[in-house]
Structure formats: structure tokens, C-alpha cells
Structure 1
């Protein structure tokens, strides 16, 4: 498998907000060989990178390292012996593409909060520009999970003639109020951290690609850690948290990563707390707080129907095939939302299947359950909706009220 990892400038770029940057850089990776009609664009989730499979520039152990390695590679669901896979780090992120932590060439300092606000539409247009640079006029498929699935939908909306197949996985046309609320709290955790300093926390011009500085800049690590913990809880279902953690106390070797109240010394430090603390501590080592603000705003802002009368109207020009995938235990992007998306596609006479995976893991099932994701995805890419593993479970909706056990909420009474 041939692998290329590059950063390329696509020149001046105007964002949807009307602001421009003179030199937008995009980090991207490609896998396999291009044959003219076999390109598959993979869109990463909120804090992912361009490094979708097991070879590339990011070090093993990084949580963004090979984030879909069980799906993308030789002989896997997105088979890099058959397809030319492209994955692009989105603008506003901190894994090589231009964002708040990257250097503004006009000042020699990090952009910080002066970087333009980004949208999912901006991601899509930047990807289109990169594909033009690579000489790829059209795509066999666009595939992505979570907010990456919103990116997929925007391709069907903005460039319907440039893609044959859409695969939004664990995604929706827009976020619901509960998720908007939690994302808002997560952002407030960052912006109320004294070290956030209005987004000016980099400390000088010696910032690396993740925003870390070598000259003493103090980052809002506690705020970012809390934001990540809120997000992390959103990715589990109640059932998976019960199964994985229960009410167990952490092992004696576990050390609290954050201060506790005096009374807390009397009560157990629970396994679920220890898990969240550990992962939050690792997260702040790899990600930039301003990027987290920017990318969650892009996700919150996304509305497929924006500029159109309805979701169906927004996708009316797309005449390929679509596979919508959802997971029954996912309350972040629910099966009901996915079914509404599939129904919008049906209204346009698009050939579409809604493949519902019976899983109680939660939102991250699309990342950790390759045996459930891989077969229908592989068959759809190769054979379209005639693939043996592709199923349309729309009928379940009318046969059982259990079609979408959504919002098995964290806040149930």
C-alpha cells in the first residue's frame, strides 16, 4: 500500500463568514493508488486527524493515530488495494492544517482567536480545493462518522455531481438541543479557565502544531480537560458505562488527576472518574483548546437544510446512492435522526438504505465495532445497495416502538 503524508497550501481561502486567510494549509494523507475513478474521501470526526490508517506521520499512542485502522487498509472494508483513500485534516483543527494554533504568516505569531470562524461548509470547500490540487475531479464515495458524517452530507449538498456514493455514519442533519447544551457547557469550561486568556495563551512564536509552547505559555488545560470529559460521556450509552465501570472504586494505584473537595477524601475515587481523568489528561497533551472551541462551534452550527426549504430540498440534486448507518445505543446522533435523514433522501428518489446496528456501546460504536461497520460499508462501496451485508431497516420503525431507543439519557430520573 502506497502512503503519502503531506501538507499543501491551497492559497488564499475565503471562509463562509466572509473572512480570508492568505495561505490556507491542509494536512492530508493518501493511501493506495489512484486509477481515475476509485477515490474515496474519508472525513474525520471532531478531534481526529488526517491519519486514518496505520502508517503516517503521527506517533503510535496518540489518540488520533490510525483512528479507523480497522476499517481502512489493505483487505479491509475500505480496501486500499482497490480504492485511493484521501483524508484531510479540517481547517480550524491542530493536526497540521491551518487553525488557531498555527502561525499567521503576516504576524509570525499564532492566529489564536483571530483565526476566522469555520463551518462544515468551509471544510467541504477546502477538501474540494485539495482534490483539485491532486487531480481528482470526482469521488467514488465520501465516508465519515459523527461530525465527519455532516461533512459527507455537505458534499451531497454542495457537490452532488462530484460524488457517486454518500456514507454518513452515526451522524445527523443537525444537532438536537441536548447536545447543543452539553457542547455549550464544554466550551464554557474552557473560556472560564483563567489560563484561556481570551484565546491568547500560546506564549510566543515557538508553538508546535498542537499549540504547545517552549517558552512558558500556560494553556487552559483544566478547562479543556473538563470539556473533553463532557464530550467523552456523550460518546457512551448508559448500558456501556454500567458494564464497563459500574460503581466500582478505582484501584489503589490510581491517583486523582484533579483537585477534590475536602469531603471527597472520605468517599471513593470511582473507576469511571479515574478513566475520565486519565483520558482527559492525555487529551490536553495532544489537542488545542481554541481548536476545540472552533470545531464544536462548526458542529453546532451545521444544519443540512440551511439555504433550502428542507433536508430533502438540500439533497435534491444528488442522484447517486446513499448508505446511512446508525447505532441503537447512540444518543448523540440517534437512529431516529438517521431515519429522518434517510427519509429525506427517499423523498428525492435517491437509492438509500438505513442500516441500523444493534449496539449498546454508544456513539463511539462506529470507531470500536469494525465487525458491525465493515461488512455493510465494504459491500456498499463495491456493489451499492445490492451488497449482501447492506440492509434497509426502515421496516423496523413500523413494526416495533423499539426502533430507536434514543436519549437513554444521562439525565433520566
Structure 2
């Protein structure tokens, strides 16, 4: 059973203190609710509620707007929708059905634009809690998320620790490092310096597509690793026939238009067709702002009230959310006496590995949901807690095979 719905949660006060009269949340559910089998999945930065394939869905949509974890979530998949009641909700501030900057302000009849309140990951969690209340879901069997969705998971553990039995943070961290903060800053400046941005009130007129395109290209560079880019593109020319009709500068007609340029241009073009520039500003701000220890003495203190089990998955080639950053969270959990394991996946695919290598991500998640941290597909890299007889060796796949 699958559903695609939008629910009006009524008046919503953001953590900034600002209030909107109506928060609509777009969500999808998969499977049947049996009281203790609910799994909440938190999507990544530009993702949607469409986490798994539905018979009535158009999965031709580009990027994470399509069934972005369709090889992990579904009947017979790692997160098996014949066993679990899966809920995925689009977050406030996005543009895939949940109220955000592009939505109409009922008080003015015009799009909010940048009059929309600042959004935090805490607001995402609070909106998800209210949605689950409306669905009749109390305690979650598990909450799972990747990238900034993993930060969303960690926020659940500090904000509603009694509502979660098991949790998995995939390719995530307690906070972004300075390099990623800097790159996000440049991406946002690309949008706000586009003349068509118009202070965020561009609806009904030209949209800041060039700025959003540059921001997305910066993001894609962050999501890939050096080795995966070298393997896929190298320094190869894409061929004269692929050069854009309008070269970016006069000298471009003389020099080769490289495959890596072609890839970035293609991804940017697809993204500007499906995403809102203001939403990109708001969501990256929410990600940059997140700090697990905010309001607490430490990361361990933030996790101390959680009595369930926590699995961290990280990828060796990911420099956006590194193995070391995941281990910081795992160590904080152990310091707080939380049952935790950190499963490191050998991969050179960069941050995108959590999306494109389901055969590596799926088994540990399946074992966590079914058996907890005792699952045989979960290996803890901490020498004090790992089982020497426990091993898991997934195989590699091509980053661009799908």
C-alpha cells in the first residue's frame, strides 16, 4: 500500500520565533501501519517525499525528486515495505509540496519569497513529529536518513529521544566543517548575485537560473571524489559537437570543452528545471546551522537521553561528510552510554555513494531494523566494541551505471 498526500498542520511557529498561519506538508507512506513498525526516512538536501517507487509515480523526474532510494526502500528491499510502515515527508522550506518560499502566503495572496521565516533542521523534526501525530504514529521503530537527512536523524535523538527505538545516520555528521561552510557560502552568493534573484521576489518574472545552476555545480563537485571524477571524466574532451551554442567566454571556442564541464552543465540544466533558488538558500542555511551540541554541553550530552541503538554509516571516499566526522558522533554516543556502531564502507564514489551504492547501504540498514546492532552485516570499526568474527565486504559498482 502506498499513499501520496498533503496535510495541513495548521499554524506553525518556527524556532526563529516567526509564525506562518498554515504549514502544509507533502508526505508519502508505504506499507501498512501495525502499531510498532513505523520507519521515518529523512531525505537529503534537495530530496522529496518520493523515497520509493509507487505504481502511479512518474520516476522519470531527475535527481532526488524521483524515487531517490528506490533500490533501498520497497517490497523485498533492505527497508522492506511489506514489513514496515515507511513515512517520508518533504521538509519545510523545500519546493516539493511542503510550504516554503515559493508557496503562497495566505495573508497576502503572493508567494512568500524571502519573507518566509528562517528554517532550521529542528523545524524539520518538529514538523515530522506533528505529521506522525496526525497519522497516529507514536514511537518509531526506526528513523533513517542520509547526508543532511542524517543530521535530521540526530536531531530526532536529542529532541524526541523517547520516540525512537533504532536510528541510522548515513554519510552524515554532527556539524559541517569550515570548508563545506565556505563552499555553501559561495553557492548561495552565486544565487543572490544573479540579477534575476531580485531579493528573492522573482516569482512571476525571470528566475535566477544562472545563479542556481552555478550553485548546483558547486554542490556536485562536493558530492564526488577525486578518484571518481578522474575515472569518469579525466581530462577528456567532450567533442566539438557537444559545445554549447553560446560559449561561456570568447576563448572557449579554441580550448576543448571537457567531459567534466559537459557533466556539470547537464546536471545544472536538469536542476534548474525542478528546484527553486530560494529553497536552495533556505535549506543550505539549515544544514550549515546544524550543530548537534547546540544548547548542550557536548555532543555526548545531546545524545544522553536516547536509550535506543544508533548506527552510523560512512564512506571512505566522502570528503563532504567524512569517516572521521561520523566517528566523532559514534564516540559521543558511546560516551553517553548509547549503544552505537560505526560501519565504514570502502568506496571511492564520494558523498553520492549513499545514493548510488544500495548494495553496500542496504544490508546494514536491513540488519539494524530486523536485529538491531547485533546484525551480521554491521561492523563496528571501534576496536573496543567490534566483533573480530563479524565482517561485511560489499562489492563495488560504477557511480554512473544507472
1:42-121 to 2 correspondence within 5 Å? 42-55=41-54, 57-63=57-63, 64-121=65-122
Q: 2: CA distance between counterparts of 1:104 and 1:51?
A: 25
TM-score (norm 2): 0.94
State the alpha-carbon separation in 2 of the partners of residues 130 and 385 from structure 1.
28
* Corresponding residue SS for 1:142: strand
The offset of 1:396, in angstroms, is 10
Q: Within 5 A, what are the aligned runs for 1:219-230?
A: 219-230=207-218
Match of 2:154 in 1: 153
- Per-residue CA distance 1:121-170 (angstroms, 9 max, x = gap): 00000000000000001100000000000000000000000000110000
1:327, 1:362 within 8 Å by CA — same for their partners in 2? yes
CA distance in 2 between partners of 1:257 and 1:150 (Å):
41
Alpha-carbon distance in 2 for matches of 1:188, 1:227: 8
Query: Which of the numbers 345, 349, 366 marks the counterpart of 2:337?
Result: 349
Aligned twin of 2:12: 13
How many residue pairs match? The answer is: 384
* 1:6-43 Cα deviation digits (max 9, x unpaired): 00000000000000000100000000000000000000
| Two-structure CA RMSD over aligned residues (Å) | 1.4
Q: How far, CA to CA, are the matches of 1:103 and 1:256 in structure 2? A: 36
Q: Name the counterpart of 1:408.
A: none
Secondary structure, counterpart of 2:334 in structure 1: helix
1:89-238 pair list within 5 angstroms: 89-203=90-204, 217-238=205-226
In the other structure, the counterpart of 1:207 is: none
Once residues 40 and 397 of structure 1 are traced to their aligned partners in structure 2, the CA distance between those partners, rounded to angstroms, is: 26
| Residue in structure 2 matched with residue 314 of structure 1 by the alignment | 302
Q: Work out the CA distance in 2 between the residues paired with 1:332 and 1:32.
A: 33
Report the secondary structure of 2:373's partner residue. Answer: helix
Counterpart residue number, 1:328: 316
Q: Is the 8 A contact 1:257 1:278 kept in 2?
A: no
Per the alignment, do residues 218 and 396 of structure 1 end up closer, same or farther by CA in structure 2, a change over 3 Å counting? Answer: farther
What corresponds to 2:390 in structure 1? Answer: none
Counterpart-to-counterpart distance in 2, 1:151 and 1:255:
41
Aligned 8 A contact 2:240 2:256 in 1: no
Shift of 1:260: 1.6
Unaligned segments of structure 1, at least 5 residues? 204-216, 399-413
TM, length-normalised to structure 1: 0.91
